[in-house]
Structure 1
Amino acid sequence: MIAFWEQAWFWPSISVIVGLPLLLLLLTEVQSSLERRHNPMSKVVALLRNAVVPVIAILVLSVQVTDAVDPGRPVVSQVIATVLGFLLIVFVLNGLNILMFTNARKGTWREKIPSIFVDIARVILVAIGLAVVFRIVWGTDIGGIFTALGVGSFVIALALQTAVGPIVAGLFLLFEQPFRLGDWLDIGGTRGRVVEVNWRSVHVDTGEGILITPIGSLAGASFTNLSRTGGTFPVSTDVTFTTDDPPAAVVALLERVASGLPQLYTGTRPKAVPAGGAAYTVSFQVRGPSQEADALAQFRMWLWYAARRAGLGLDGDTTDDFVTDARRDEALAAIAATLYLSGDDSVALAPVVRLERYAAGEVIHRVGTVPDSVRFVLSGSVDLRVPFEDAELPATRVEAGDYVGQTALTREALLTTATALTEVSVLVIPATALDQIVRSTPALARDMGDVIDRRRAEVSAAVSAHVASQQNAVTAS
C-alpha cells in the first residue's frame, strides 16, 4: 500500500495549503508599499493577489481531484484554465500598459501615442491571447479562425474603403498629435477649446456651443493650433475716436490702458497705431487664447473710463454727464469740513478741481510715483497695496470720505499702489491749490501729516506680518 505522502495529490496540495497564504501575504505587503508611493502598479499587483494567484491554486487542486475521479473528462479543469488564461492576459496587458504608457516621460514617443491606438492594440492582443488559450486548453484549431478573419477583414475593408478611409486618416492625425485636450483651435474661422477627442470626432467648445468636427474632415483640412504660439497669444482690436482728438494723445492713452491689463504677458508692451481717419488699432500679447475674451472685455471697459478722464471722444462721443458743475459743487461741499473750507474758499477752489471716475481694477496711483494732486474718494472703495519681493501685500482700504495721493504736498514718492475695488468717483484737487490752503490752515497740514504717518505705519505692519508668516511657515516645515 502506498503511503499518503507518496500519493500524486499530496505535494501539490501541501504547496497550495502552505504556499498560498505566504504568497498572498507577500503580495499584500507589496501592494501596500506601492499604494503608499501612489504607484499605479499597485492595481496590477492587486489583480495578481486577488484573482490570478487564487485561480492558480484552485486549478492545481481541481486537476488533482478530476484526475483521481474522472481522468478522461477534466471539463471543470479546462473551464478554470480558460478563466486563468484570460486573467493572465489582462494581468500582462495592464502591466505593460502601465510600464510603457502610464509612466511615459513627457515628450517621448510613448507619451505621444493616442489612447485609441493603445485600446485597439489591447483588443487585438486579447483576441490573440484568447485564441492561444483555447488552442492550448481545448485543442481548438485556430489556424482556420485566423484565415477566416483575414479574408473577412479584407472583404470588409474593400467594401468600406470610402467610409473607413477618413477614419484611418483621422487616427493617423491623432497619432501625430497636432493638438491636445485644452488646446485652442481655429477651424475655418471658428475658434474654440478642445474638450473631447475620440476616434470619430473632435469636440470644440466655441463659447456659444460645442462644435463637433469629424476627425476625418479635420485630417483633410487646415486648422490653426492657437495654443502653440511660443507662450504668447496676440490680441488686437480696432477702436475709433473723433478726428479732433490728437493722434499722439490717443495712441498714448491706448497703450497706457493696455499696459495695465492683468492678462498682459510679462515682458511685452502694447502697440497702438493710427489706422486712418478716426480709427486706431491696438495690439498686445496675453498668456493664451483662453484669456483673449477677458482681456478685450476689460480693455474696452477701462478705455471708456480713461477716455472720459482724458477728455477724448471714444466712439465719437465727447459728452460726459458725470462731469457737471452741480456735481462738482456738491463734492466740494462734502469735503469742505475735511479741508476746513469756508463758502468763499469753495467758490475759489471750484475752477481748479475736477471729477473723475475709475473702473474696478484700474490703478489710480502707482507705487514709487510722486502724485501731483490729491484725490478725495466720493464713492466706492480703493485698495492700497505695497509690493514686497514677488507679492503685493494689502496695506489698507480707502473708503468714501478719505483720500489718496496725500504725499503730493510733501513731494514724496508713494509707498503703495492704489487700485479701485469697485467703480470709484473722486474729486481731484491739484497740489498747488492745496498748498495755498495749507499755508492758511495749519490744522489741515497737521491732519494730512497724520494720514501720511498712518499710511506708513500700515505699510510697515503689512510687511512685518508677511515676514512673520513666512518665518512661521519655514519653522513649521
Structure 2
Amino acid sequence: MTEVWQEPWFPWAVGLAVGVPVLLIVLTEVLGALSRRGNAAAKPVRLLRNFVVPVGAVFALLVFATARADDITWVRIVGTLLGFLLILLILSAFNVALFANAEEGSWRDRIPSIFVDLARLALILIGLAILFSWVWGADIGGLVTALGVTSIVIGLALQNAVGGVISGLLLLFEQPFRLGDWLDTGSVRGRVVEVNWRAVHLDTGNGIQIVPNSSLAGASFTNLSQPVGAFTASVEVTFSTDDAPDDVLRLLREVASALPMLEPSDEVSASYLGAARFSVTLPVTGPSAADEAVARFRAWLWYAARRRGLALDGDGTDPIATPERLGAALVTLAPTLHAREEDLDELAGSCTLERYGPGETVQAAGTVPDAIRFLIEGGVQLAVPTKDGLITFQYLGTGDVIGQTALTREVAMAAAIADGTTLVLRMPLSSIDRLVRTRPRLAQEIGASIDHKHRQAQAALAEAGIVRGTIGR
C-alpha cells in the first residue's frame, strides 16, 4: 500500500494548504494599506485576493491533484472562469497604471472614459475568444465572419442612428467642451450638464435642452467658458444729452466696480458711444453670473443716477426728492439731533434724501465718510472686510446713524450694505459740525456710538480668529 505522502497529489495539496492562506494574508495587508491611502491600485488587489487566488487554487487542485478522466469538464469550466478573471485583473491593472494617476492636461487625462470602456470591452471579447479557442477548442473564425456580416447589415439598417453615435464619439474624442462649460450654439445657450453617445444636455435656466451630437459636430458653436478667465458681459445704457459724459462715465465705473460677481483680476470699462449712449463691459467670473450681474447693475444704476441728479433713460426725476418728505424726516430726527425748530429750517437747505437698492454699499470701509447718514426707512448690515470676505456684525434700522467717524475725521472700519430698499437722510459735515459745537451732548452720543461699533467689530473679528492688524483700514 502506497503511503499518503508518496501520492502524486500530496505535494500540491501541502503547497496549496500552506501557500494560499499565506498569500491571502499578505494580500489582505497590502489591500488595507492601499485602501487607507486611497490608492487606485486597491481595486485590482481586491480582485486578486477575493477571486483570482481562490479560483486559481481550485484550478490547481483539479489539475494536479486528480487524474480522473470524468473530471475534465469541471477542469475546463474552472479554467474558463480563471481565464476570465485573469483578463479582468490585467485590464484593471493597466487601467490603474495608465489612467488612474494621469496628470491633468496629459493625453491620458484627455481621453474620454467612453473610449476606455470601449477598448476594455473589445479586449475582453478578444480575450474570451482566445480563451474559448484554447480551453474548449472552439472555432472562432466562423463566429468572427458571422459577426462581421451581421454588423454590416445592422449598420446599413441603422445608419442614421449610428451616424449620430459616431458623431458623438468624435465629439467626445476632440473634447471641445467639458461638463460645466457654457455653450452658445446660436439657437440655444446653456451649461453642459450631461454628454452621452447621442446628445449633449444643456441647462438653459428654463429647462434642459437636448442638442444632438450630429448637430454640434456639423455646425459651429461657441464655448463661453474657454479660455479660462473672466467672461465679459456688455451693457448699453442711455442718459440725457444734458448730462456731462465724464460725470456719467465716472458713475458707471463706480456702480459696476461694486458688483460682487466681478472677476477680481480684471477691471470694469466704460465708453461713450455718442448721442447720450454709453457702453459698459463687466468682467464677471463666468457665463452663469452674467445675467445676474447685468440685472443688478441696471437696478443699482437707477438708484445711483437719482442720487447724482443724472437722467438715466432721459428721466432725472426722483419721487422722494420733495421738500415735504425732507421736512418730515428732519422732524422725526429732531430729538436725536437735539435740534430746535429754527435748526430744522437751516438743515433743510443742506440735507438731502437718498435711496439705495438692495445690496448697494451705503458707506465703504477704509475711507473717511463725507457725511453722516440717518436711516429713515429700511436698514443696513455693518460688515468688516477681510481677505476671505465680509464679516457682518450688526444690523442698523430706522433711526440709527451711519458714518459718525466723519465728525472725528477717522477712517470707517466697517462697510454699510443696504438690506433691501433703504432711504437715508444725508447730512453734510458742515451741518453736523454746527450742531455739535452748540450741543456737547450730541458730540458725546456720537463718540459713544463710534466706540460701541468698534467694540462690536473687534468682537466679531476675534470670534472669527482674525487679528485686527490684518484688516485694512
Q: Please tell me whether the aligned partners of residues 31 and 42 of structure 1 are also in contact (alpha carbons under 8 angstroms).
A: yes
Q: Which residue of 2 aligns with 1:15?
A: 15
Q: Does 1:76 align with 2:81?
A: no
Q: Please tell me whether the aligned partners of residues 371 and 428 of structure 2 are also in contact (alpha carbons under 8 angstroms).
A: yes
Aligned residue-pair number: 468
Whole-Å separation in 1 of the counterparts to 2:273 and 2:95 = 57
Q: Which residue of 1 aligns with 2:324?
A: 326
Cα shift readout 1:192-241 (whole Å, capped 9, x = no counterpart): 11111111111111112212122122112111111113411111122233
Q: Please tell me whether the aligned partners of residues 66 and 77 of structure 1 are also in contact (alpha carbons under 8 angstroms).
A: no
Aligned residue for 2:30, secondary structure, equals: helix
Q: Which residue of 2 aligns with 1:365?
A: 363
Aligned residue for 1:282, secondary structure, equals: strand
Q: Which residue of 2 aligns with 1:311?
A: 309
Q: Which residue of 1 aligns with 2:100?
A: 102
Aligned residue for 2:423, secondary structure, equals: strand
Q: Which amino acid aligns with 2:41?
A: M
Instruction: Report how far residue 73 of structure 1 moved.
Output: 5.4
Cα shift readout 1:389-412 (whole Å, capped 9, x = no counterpart): 565444543332221111222333
Q: Which residue of 2 aligns with 1:61?
A: 61
Whole-Å separation in 2 of the counterparts to 1:154 and 1:129 = 23
Aligned residue for 2:317, secondary structure, equals: coil
Q: Please tell me whether the aligned partners of residues 366 and 418 of structure 1 are also in contact (alpha carbons under 8 angstroms).
A: yes
Q: Please tell me whether the aligned partners of residues 367 and 415 of structure 1 are also in contact (alpha carbons under 8 angstroms).
A: yes
Instruction: Report how far residue 258 of structure 1 moved.
Output: 0.5
Comparing 124-133 and 163-172, the one that deviates more: 163-172
Cα shift readout 1:369-428 (whole Å, capped 9, x = no counterpart): 222210011233323333455654445433322211112223333222222233322111
Q: Which residue of 1 aligns with 2:3?
A: 3
Q: Please tell me whether the aligned partners of residues 164 and 198 of structure 2 are also in contact (alpha carbons under 8 angstroms).
A: no
Q: Please tell me whether the aligned partners of residues 183 and 226 of structure 1 are also in contact (alpha carbons under 8 angstroms).
A: yes
Whole-Å separation in 2 of the counterparts to 1:75 and 1:154 = 36
CA shift in 2, pair 1:231/1:137, >3 Å: same
Q: What TM-score does the superposition give when structure 1 sets the normalisation length?
A: 0.91
Q: Which residue of 1 aligns with 2:471?
A: none
Q: Which residue of 2 aligns with 1:385?
A: 383
Q: Which residue of 1 aligns with 2:296?
A: 298
Instruction: Report how far residue 165 of structure 1 moved.
Output: 4.1
Q: Which residue of 1 aligns with 2:44?
A: 44
Comparing 149-158 and 420-429, the one that deviates more: 149-158
Q: Please tell me whether the aligned partners of residues 405 and 411 of structure 2 are also in contact (alpha carbons under 8 angstroms).
A: yes
Q: Which residue of 1 aligns with 2:266?
A: 268
Instruction: Report how far residue 157 of structure 1 moved.
Output: 4.9
Comparing 164-173 and 232-241, the one that deviates more: 164-173
Unaligned runs of 5+ residues in structure 2 are 469-473
Question: What are the within-5 Å matches in structure 2 for residues 221-240 of structure 1?
Answer: 221-240=219-238
Q: Please tell me whether the aligned partners of residues 263 and 287 of structure 1 are also in contact (alpha carbons under 8 angstroms).
A: yes
Measured on the aligned residues, the alpha-carbon RMSD in Å equals 2.4
Comparing 272-281 and 262-271, the one that deviates more: 272-281
Whole-Å separation in 2 of the counterparts to 1:352 and 1:197 = 63
Q: Which amino acid aligns with 2:260?
A: P
| Match for residue 144 of structure 1 among 142, 145, 160 | 142
Q: Which amino acid aligns with 1:32?
A: G
| Match for residue 433 of structure 2 among 425, 432, 435 | 435
Q: Please tell me whether the aligned partners of residues 10 and 65 of structure 2 are also in contact (alpha carbons under 8 angstroms).
A: no
Comparing 165-174 and 44-53, the one that deviates more: 165-174
Question: What are the within-5 Å matches in structure 2 for residues 103-122 of structure 1?
Answer: 103-122=101-120
Aligned residue for 1:409, secondary structure, equals: helix
Cα shift readout 1:255-299 (whole Å, capped 9, x = no counterpart): 111011111111322222233434322112111112112211221
Q: Please tell me whether the aligned partners of residues 181 and 223 of structure 2 are also in contact (alpha carbons under 8 angstroms).
A: yes
Q: Which residue of 1 aligns with 2:197?
A: 199
Cα shift readout 1:412-465 (whole Å, capped 9, x = no counterpart): 332222222333221111111112112221211222222233334444444455
Q: Please tell me whether the aligned partners of residues 388 and 463 of structure 1 are also in contact (alpha carbons under 8 angstroms).
A: no
Instruction: Report how far residue 184 of structure 1 moved.
Output: 0.7
Q: Which amino acid aligns with 1:367?
A: A
Comparing 417-426 and 459-468, the one that deviates more: 459-468
Q: Which amino acid aligns with 1:200?
A: R
Aligned residue for 1:74, secondary structure, equals: helix
Aligned residue for 2:349, secondary structure, equals: helix
Q: Which residue of 2 aligns with 1:475?
A: none
Unaligned runs of 5+ residues in structure 1 are 471-477
Q: Please tell me whether the aligned partners of residues 307 and 313 of structure 1 are also in contact (alpha carbons under 8 angstroms).
A: yes
Instruction: Report how far residue 129 of structure 1 moved.
Output: 0.9
Q: Please tell me whether the aligned partners of residues 230 and 266 of structure 2 are also in contact (alpha carbons under 8 angstroms).
A: no
Q: Which residue of 2 aligns with 1:247?
A: 245
Aligned residue for 2:313, secondary structure, equals: helix
Cα shift readout 1:174-199 (whole Å, capped 9, x = no counterpart): 11111111111111242111111111
Q: Which amino acid aligns with 2:232?
A: P
Whole-Å separation in 2 of the counterparts to 1:42 and 1:201 = 34
Whole-Å separation in 1 of the counterparts to 2:228 and 2:60 = 61
Q: What TM-score does the superposition give when structure 2 sets the normalisation length?
A: 0.91
